[in-house]
Structure 1
Amino acid sequence: MFEVELPSLLYDVLVDLDCIYVVCVCELDIFVYQNNGTLLWNMGFRDTVESYYLEDDESIIIECSDGERTTFQLDSGAVK
């Protein structure tokens, strides 16, 4: 396991089925790590994260309290 310091309240830790990515979903941020603990990318949000889920083990869907829904690729953080 790896140790990280997160800037906002941690909601959940998600792992894809192949155990390649570890996603820390926080109140105002998401952080995506490789399974060895290396940070791949992170994203901060202006509004609170309300809903989130992994899709096809290749992306994460984030919906914030303002209704904005964004899909990010797990490997790069690129918006789909």
Structure 2
Amino acid sequence: MNLRLREITREDLPLIEQWLHADHVRGAWGDPIPNLVLLSEPAADGAWRAIIEADGRDVGVVLWQHLSRDELDAAGLSDIPTTVRGLLNQ
């Protein structure tokens, strides 16, 4: 299997939105809209985001960032500690 990470672009947002609305993702990530807004904005200093490609097919998103309590709460993730890193996949 050939895996690759590439920077997220605006063209990826419709697919990311689709993933965020999937029941298994929504159950972990909460309301898709605040998460899509967060992913639509430029990454903060020290943060990095990428699309995961497997054999040329987009299969998920990897995020490397430290979210504030306010950002987690806005995303509906008030039960997640600020020390957690996450992986969103399809």
Normalising to structure 1: TM-score of the pair? 0.33
Task: Identify the structure with the greater strand proportion.
Answer: 1
Higher relative contact order (CA closer than 8 Å, sequence separation 6+): 2
Normalising to structure 2: TM-score of the pair? 0.31
